[in-house]
């Protein structure tokens, strides 16, 4: 019975311009990498059916524009997110330093009911570049940051080589579901209704 239920999980990918948000999403959904991505304007999303613990979910992954000023549009995209994926480039200190900003801005704009426990996942992307020689953010440093923000799960990924991408998104799904029981309290009928409502909500805002 439980396996027949479908539900929608909304995931937002945030991070500086050019850290590989679009690439990660495409690697995960389409299992492809291209070095010819266009700059993302506003936001874009892809969906993927995922199975988790015997249940089928539609994962709706929102890929956002990285330029700072697009943050002001965030509220329209962040609303109703189940999980927020923060991405930085291990070869760019600035993209790592900005993580605080992205996280805080997300919490302000999405205003989740329990900001302290809202699920984030951190991805340090582009570990493949130059065989790791151009890397400037150490794994230790990244993990320390994660620990300071309430044990955010951390993955070192390469969208290009597909390293850790699948694993990271498995974790994202798992964390997105942390919110689920809470929402079922708000709408106790069935999960289907929740999915339907959310679908409408997200299409209405854009």
Using the rule CB under 8 A, is 73 a contact of another protein?
yes
Least spacing, CB of residue 9 vs another protein, in Å: 22
Which one of the spans 69-77, 124-132, 140-148, 169-177 is the region binding another protein (CB under 8 A)?
A: 69-77
The verdict on 108 binding another protein (CB under 8 A) reads no
C-alpha 191/C-alpha 155 separation (Å) is 30
203 binds another protein (CB under 8 A): no
Asked if residue 204 binds another protein (CB under 8 A), the reply is no
Longest dimension (CA), the chain: 54
Q: Among 5, 18, 153, 162, which residue sits at the site for another protein (rule: CB under 8 A)?
A: 18
Residues 110-169 that bind another protein (CB under 8 A): none
Among residues 41, 82, 38, which one has the least CA distance to residue 60? 82
80, exposed or middle or buried, with CB in 10 Å at 0-12, 13-18, 19+?
A: middle
Please say which residue, 16 or 82, places its beta carbon nearer to another protein: 16
CB proximity list for 190: less than 8 A, separation 6 or greater: 5
Q: How far is 19 from 92, CA to CA, in rounded Å?
A: 8
User: Read out DSSP for 154-173?
Assistant: EEE-BTTTTBTHHHHHHHHH
Work out which of 3, 30, 51, 67 binds another protein, going by CB under 8 A.
Answer: 67
| Structure-token pair, residue 79 | 């609303």
- Judged by CB, which is closer to another protein: 117, or 200? 200
Instruction: Measure the CA–CA gap between 144 and 96, rounded to whole angstroms.
Output: 12
**Contacts (CB under 8 A) with another protein, residues 36-65:** 36-42, 65
206 binds another protein (CB under 8 A): yes
Residue (44 or 183) nearer to another protein, CB = 44
Q: Helix (H, G, I), strand (E, B), or coil: what is residue 69?
A: helix
Of 92 and 164, which has the nearer Cβ to another protein?
92
Among 69, 130, 131, 133, binds another protein (CB under 8 A): 69
Nearest in space to 130 (alpha carbons), one of 164, 92, 169: 92
Q: Which of 76, 93, 108, 144 binds another protein (CB under 8 A)?
A: 76
User: Using CB under 8 A as the criterion, which residues of the chain lie in contact with another protein when the complex forms?
Assistant: 17-18, 35-42, 65-67, 69-70, 72-73, 76, 205-206
């Amino acid at each position: 019975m439980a396996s027949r239920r479908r539900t929608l999980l909304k995931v937002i990918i945030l991070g500086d311009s050019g850290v590989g948000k679009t690439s990660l999403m495409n690697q995960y959904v389409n299992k492809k990498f291209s070095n010819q991505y266009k700059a993302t304007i506003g936001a874009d999303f892809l969906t993927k059916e995922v199975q988790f613990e015997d249940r089928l979910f539609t994962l709706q992954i929102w890929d956002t524009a990285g330029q700072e000023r697009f943050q002001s549009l965030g509220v329209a995209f962040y609303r109703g997110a189940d999980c927020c994926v923060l991405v930085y480039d291990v070869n760019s200190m600035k993209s790592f330093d900005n993580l605080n900003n992205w996280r805080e801005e997300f919490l302000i704009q999405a205003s989740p009911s329990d900001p302290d426990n809202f699920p984030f996942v951190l991805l340090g992307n582009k570990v493949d570049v130059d065989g790791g020689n151009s890397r400037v953010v150490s794994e230790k440093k990244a993990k320390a940051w994660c620990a300071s923000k309430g044990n955010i799960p951390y993955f070192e990924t390469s969208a290009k080589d597909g390293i850790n991408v699948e694993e990271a998104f498995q974790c994202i799904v798992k964390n997105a579901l942390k919110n689920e029981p809470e929402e079922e309290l708000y709408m106790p009928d069935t999960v289907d209704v929740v999915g339907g409502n959310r679908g409408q909500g997200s299409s209405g805002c854009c």
